[in-house]
């Protein structure tokens, strides 16, 4: 399942970052999911909740935000947020809002990234 491998990758990255920073606990995790990442945010959240069990991120607040698809249109030079029809989840239609061209290049919105994490460090006093 696509969501599972993504969720596993996210948690691995979070725990690795936390370990590199000598964290005792991860309290918040901020994730950005592109509209074209083909991820169901609810399913992703469910999997993340399962995967953090018995790790230092067990009680972390997980924040998932969807980010829009941005494109570059070779026809009219438009660069920005695309018109997106993703009613068909697996074959979304992406269009230039300016000239309705479909042959655009996608700049952003395909990835799922860990934007930020908040950690607790051991008391040094």
Binding site for Zn ion (CB under 5 A): 73, 75-76, 78, 96, 98-99, 101
Judged by beta carbon, residue 43 or residue 98, the one nearer Zn ion is: 98
Based on C-alpha coordinates, what's the Rg of the chain? 18
Judged by beta carbon, residue 27 or residue 98, the one nearer Zn ion is: 98
Q: How far is the CB of 101 from Zn ion (least distance, A)?
A: 4
Q: How far is the CB of 71 from Zn ion (least distance, A)?
A: 9
Q: How far is the CB of 70 from Zn ion (least distance, A)?
A: 13
Judged by beta carbon, residue 103 or residue 121, the one nearer Zn ion is: 103
């Amino acid at each position: 399942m696509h969501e599972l491998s993504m969720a596993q990758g996210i948690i691995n990255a979070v725990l690795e970052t936390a370990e590199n920073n000598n964290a005792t606990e991860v309290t918040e995790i901020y994730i950005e999911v592109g509209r074209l990442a083909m991820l169901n945010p609810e399913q992703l959240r469910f999997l993340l909740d399962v995967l953090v069990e018995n790790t230092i991120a067990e009680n972390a607040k997980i924040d998932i935000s969807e980010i829009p698809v941005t494109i570059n249109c070779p026809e009219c030079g438009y660069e920005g947020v695309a018109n997106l029809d993703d009613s068909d989840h697996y074959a979304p239609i992406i269009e230039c809002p300016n000239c309705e061209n479909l042959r655009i290049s996608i700049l952003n919105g395909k990835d799922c990234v860990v934007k930020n994490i908040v950690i607790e460090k051991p008391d040094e006093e």
